Every structure is written in structure tokens, then in C-alpha cells.
Amino acid sequence: MERVVVVGASLAGLRAAETLRTEGFDGEVIVVGAEVHRPYDRPPLSKKLLAGEWEPERIHLRQPDSFDDLDVEWRLGVVAAGLEADSGVLHLTDGTDVEFDGCIIATGASCRRLPDQGRHAHVHELRTLDDSLRLRAELAEGNHHVVVIGAGFIGLEVAATAKQLGNEVTVLEGAPAPLIRGLGAEMGTAIGAMHVARGVDVRCDVDVERLDEAGVLLSDGELVESDVVVVGIGVVPNTAWLDGSGLEIRDGVVCDETLNARRADGELRPGVYAAGDVLRWPNALFGEEMRVEHWTNAAEQGAAAAKNLLAVSRGEEPVPYAPVPFFWSDQFDVRVQFLGRASADDEVVVATGAVEDDKFLALYRNGDRLHGALGVNAPRWVMKMRGTLAAGASWDEALEVAATFE
């Protein structure tokens, strides 16, 4: 290979570019990014940066000289417009084309939006640095009524930050409990109760009819008045630019276990890999296809995609990517950490600690296997379970491990 293009300049893209260099690739590396900013850390956008405790300089993923030392061509503020996967050509919105031998797709995801969301100046979303700074300007003085639509992780993090800044906060969720997708109903309810105990009004099983200049109108006719609205109803992978690319797209770029992209006919497209929120792949450790939207996965996948791209180009065997998914979330004085997976039919058992003490470890059982582990204010307990999950532990083995925690 002589030229690799990395499409996406966030964490996964940066780690891919860095890995290409550390693994000895001395050809051209071009990184294309839709934002004008160099790669930055997203978790602080809903917490430290939003609260005004940190400034943008502090969330840069690398120091300026580290970016320069990579010997990478950065094309920032330009959007990918199309990909001819078989021909090896990337089209950009500035009218230029980039030919490549290798390509790593890391275009991430974008916020889902409500109808007419862009018509209201007081309605915000939170995905980018600029989004966070705009919302921060609204929340900083306090004394607003903030309505957060969506009780996922981003929604609850924003709710916690807004409340700590002295605002009245209402969270509206259409599901029966917060965080159902990530934690299931039982543990989602437990996290929601922690918000209620800290003064947040959390309302589930509500249906938003539409946004209004005075607030949020519900389907039962109630108007929830608000000065600031934050829409946090999930994300969609950025794949529209890949229409006509010949790649298989199904809620993400579909790849094999080594992160090699598949064509629409199911065959692999050599030299094209994907990483981060945009990727869907089969994780052999859990026996399921998944798309993971969290920091650790983006970092690890960016590196894995680059390594496998280079390995195949050298005639070596690529390595399947089969990690234990991990994410964390800080809400008020509560740190939530999760390992593995959670599904609707999992049995959940609090193995150590107590929910009412805001410190516990809950294990998720699927069949006779350990499927996931949730820790609240229990980082040591969670990390000790990581090896247990990676080893494919049985349920009884997991309980034995948890029983040793104090």
C-alpha cells in the first residue's frame, strides 16, 4: 500500500492513524474530518466542559506537536460525499477526490432529531464541541427550566449537569424506564431513582407530540413549559454518504470479525475497514452481531482496524476483534460502569453492595452464562469482573467471584 485514507477525525480515526505509523506504515496517511477541530475527547462534552469546569483546550486528545509528529495530512472541515469502494476513490464535498489503496471508515454517528427541531433556537442537541459550548452558554447562569427529551446516558448526564448548575430539570422518556437499552428496565429504574433523589423530575412512558416555542407538547395535550430543551433520543450511524458505494449498510457498515467491510453481495472488500460507532460486526466472544457507541470501543477498534489492514497487505493473518464491551457514565456523584451486554431477557442479580446505598455490583445472566456486569460507584468490583467475562464464565463461576468482593 502507498496511501491510506481515514474517513473520520474523531477518536477511532485518530487511533487508526496513530497505529498505522506505530506499526511501521511509511506511505501517505490522509485523515478527513467533517469538523474543523482536531480530534477531541467527547465524554467531557456533557459533563466537565458543559459545566464550565474545563475549556476546549483541555479536551484535545493530543498536544499540537503530537499531531504534527504523526506525519499525517489532515483535511478538516470537509465532508465525505461518496465512496467508490471497488475503484478505491473517495469523493469529498469540496469537489476533490482521493485515490487510496487502503481505507478506514470511522465517520461515527449523528444525533437523531425530532421534526422541526432546527426551527427552535432554544432546542439543542449534544454531539460536538460546538454543540456543548452553545448549550453551556444557555445553562451557565442557572434559573432555567430545562427539559431533556430522552433518558439515555447523554440525556441523564446533561440533566445532572444542568441541575448542578442551578436549573430546574425535567426528563421525558418514552420507554417505561430510563436506560432500558443499555442497562435494562430494573437497573435503569434504579439509576433514574438516583436522579429523582437529587431533584430531577424523571417522567417515563410519555409521548412527545411536538416541540413548541413555550416548551414540549405531549400527546395527551400537556405542555411542559421550558426555557431550554435538549433532545437526546439516540444516534444514527453516518452512512448516507456510502449510498452507491457497493458496501453492505445495515444500521452501520457491515464488517466481518476482523473489521473488514463487506460488499452488498456479502463478499469482503479487501483494503476497506471500519471502526467506531459506524461499524457493525460479529463479536465471537458474545456470539452476536453488535454496533457499540462507546469511547473504549472506538479507541480499540481504530487500532484493530489499522493493524488488520496492514497485516493483510503484508500477507499476514488478521486478528478477530472480540472484546468485552465497556462503558462508563458520570451523573452527579454517581459513576456508572458496565461490562459486556444487557438484553431484555437477562436475569439481573445484585451480587455485592446494595442499590439503596448507591454502591453495588449487579450481574446479568443469560442462560447459564454471565452476560454483563454493572457497577455503581464500584470501580474495583467492575474491573475485577472483566477477566471473568472475557473467560466466558458460567453464572455460578461469576457468583463465586463476586462473593469474594468486600
Average of pLDDT values for 116-131?
95
Alpha-carbon gap, residue 352 to 284, rounded angstroms: 29
Residue 362 is inside which H or E element, if any? strand 359-366
Please report, as a single letter, which amino acid is at residue 279: L
| 161-207: pLDDT as tens digits | 999 999 999 999 999 999 999 999 999 999 999 999 999 999 999 99
What is the location of CATH 3.30.390.30 in the chain? 333-402
The yes-or-no verdict on residue 64 having pLDDT over 90 is: no
Average of pLDDT values for 62-86?
92
The answer to whether 32 and 75 have CB atoms below 8 angstroms apart is: yes
pLDDT of 67 reads 83
Q: Which residue has the cell 453464572?
A: 395
What is the location of CATH 3.50.50.60 in the chain? 3-110+235-313, 113-231
Read off the pLDDT band of 69 (50, 70, 90): confident
pLDDT of 188 reads 97
Fold of 3-110+235-313: FAD/NAD(P)-binding domain (3.50.50)
242-276 burial, b for 16+ CB within 10 Å, e for fewer? beebbbbbeebbbbbbbbbbbbeeeeebebbbbbb
pLDDT of 406 reads 78
pLDDT of 66 reads 84
Q: Which CATH number fits domain 113-231: 3.40.1550.10, 3.50.50.60, 2.30.30.140, 3.30.565.10?
A: 3.50.50.60
pLDDT of 154 reads 97
Average of pLDDT values for 52-56?
97
Average of pLDDT values for 287-293?
96
Phi and psi at 369, nearest 5°, equal -120, 155
Q: Which residue has the cell 473488514?
A: 260
The yes-or-no verdict on residue 342 having pLDDT over 90 is: yes
pLDDT of 393 reads 93
Residues 6+ apart with CB under 8 A from 237: 107, 108, 109, 251, 252, 253, 277, 278, 279, 291
Read off the pLDDT band of 226 (50, 70, 90): very high
134-172 burial, b for 16+ CB within 10 Å, e for fewer? ebbebbeeeebbbbbbbbbbbbbbbbbbbbbbebbbbbb
Considering only the top CATH level, what class is 333-402? alpha beta
DSSP state of 247: B
Q: Which residue has the cell 506504515?
A: 25
Cα atoms in the 13 Å half-sphere on the side-chain side of 135? 32
Q: Is 129 helix (H, G, I), strand (E, B) or coil?
A: helix
The yes-or-no verdict on residue 65 having pLDDT over 90 is: no
